[in-house]
């Protein structure tokens, strides 16, 4: 400490004649005060520089990092299991679109070891029906859930049981055909089937008003009477015989 200033320059009063202990105590005390003032100078300079840097536009003296925990890491992605007839969901499927596509039945295990909240989308394009079966717990109160071709569903796990609701296929546009009607509808594909009705499809009795106004003309051909003979004919109009040619 003595290298800063000689002790004689620090005291406003003389210490000559004072006991040695008093002189040393004053020297130590005033040295401590001087050192504190010097330290205050350094600290004040650092504080002033920090204030200047903080006040300067575009300058930051601290960095704030915000971390958002995403519970659905697979959201917006797909898990394409085309060609597979067996699959068990994983933790990474949280939020994904699970694609199933095979002509054979597909067994999907719902892994109940995953942590809630957990959900995923699922759709099947192949002819094989997908059966969703939890490894534990129930799905919609049952042991399994079937998803036919072209259906889409959202599957949710609450930590114990699974829940889902399948969205039906939208019916396909089907143009009308003359003399045909809708015979069937396939809810799995949304396609209507058309066919022409037969007499067996018609019930009731024919009324006079349902007959054509121009009448019905029918010509009945009769067989020849002999080997060398000729055929005959009978013409009926509105049920009345109007002309006849005899067979020979």
pLDDT digits (tens, 9 = 90+) for 225-242: 888 889 989 888 777 888
Q: Before 248, cis peptide (omega within 30)?
A: no
Beta strand 106-110 with 217-222 is unpaired
The answer to whether residues 132 and 154 touch, using CB atoms and an 8 Å cutoff, is no
CA 101 to chain centre: 17
- Which among 9-13, 44-48, 57-61, 90-94 has the top mean pLDDT? 90-94
- Report the candidate in 213, 172, 212, 177 with the shortest Cα–Cα distance to residue 195: 177
Q: What percent of the residues of the chain are helix, what percent strand, and what percent coil, each to the nearest 5?
A: 20, 30, 50
Q: Which residues contact 99 (CB under 8 A, 6 or more apart)?
A: 78, 79, 80, 81, 82, 122, 123, 124, 125
Which stretch of 53-62, 170-179, 195-204 has the lowest confidence by average pLDDT?
53-62
CATH T-level assignment (fold) for domain 78-167: Jelly Rolls (2.60.120)
The answer to whether residues 149 and 124 touch, using CB atoms and an 8 Å cutoff, is yes
The answer to whether residues 92 and 73 touch, using CB atoms and an 8 Å cutoff, is yes
Percent of the residues in the chain that have a pLDDT greater than 90, as a whole number: 34
Q: Kindly report the pTM of this predicted structure.
A: 0.48
């Amino acid at each position: 400490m003595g290298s800063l200033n000689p002790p004689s320059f620090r005291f406003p009063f003389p210490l000559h004649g004072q006991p040695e202990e008093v002189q040393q105590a004053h020297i130590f005390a005033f040295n401590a005060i001087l050192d504190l003032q010097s330290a205050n100078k350094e600290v004040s300079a650092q504080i002033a520089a920090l204030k200047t840097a903080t006040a300067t536009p575009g300058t930051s003296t601290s960095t704030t990092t915000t971390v958002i925990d995403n519970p659905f890491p697979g959201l917006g992605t797909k898990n394409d299991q085309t060609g597979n007839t067996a699959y068990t969901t994983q933790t990474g499927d949280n939020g994904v679109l699970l694609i199933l596509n095979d002509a054979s039945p597909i067994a999907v295990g719902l892994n109940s070891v995953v942590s809630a909240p957990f959900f995923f989308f699922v759709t099947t394009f192949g002819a094989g029906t997908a059966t969703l079966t939890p490894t534990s717990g129930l799905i919609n109160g049952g042991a399994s859930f079937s998803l036919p071709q072209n259906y889409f569903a959202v599957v949710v796990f609450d930590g114990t049981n699974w829940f889902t609701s399948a969205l039906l296929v939208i019916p396909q546009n089907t143009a009308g055909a003359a003399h045909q009607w809708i015979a069937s509808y396939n809810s799995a594909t949304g396609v209507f089937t058309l066919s022409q009705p037969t007499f067996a499809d018609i019930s009731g009795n024919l009324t006079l008003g349902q007959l054509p106004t121009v009448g019905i003309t029918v010509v009945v051909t009769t067989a020849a009477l002999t080997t060398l003979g000729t055929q005959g004919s009978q013409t009926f109009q509105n049920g009345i015989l109007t002309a006849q040619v005899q067979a020979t």
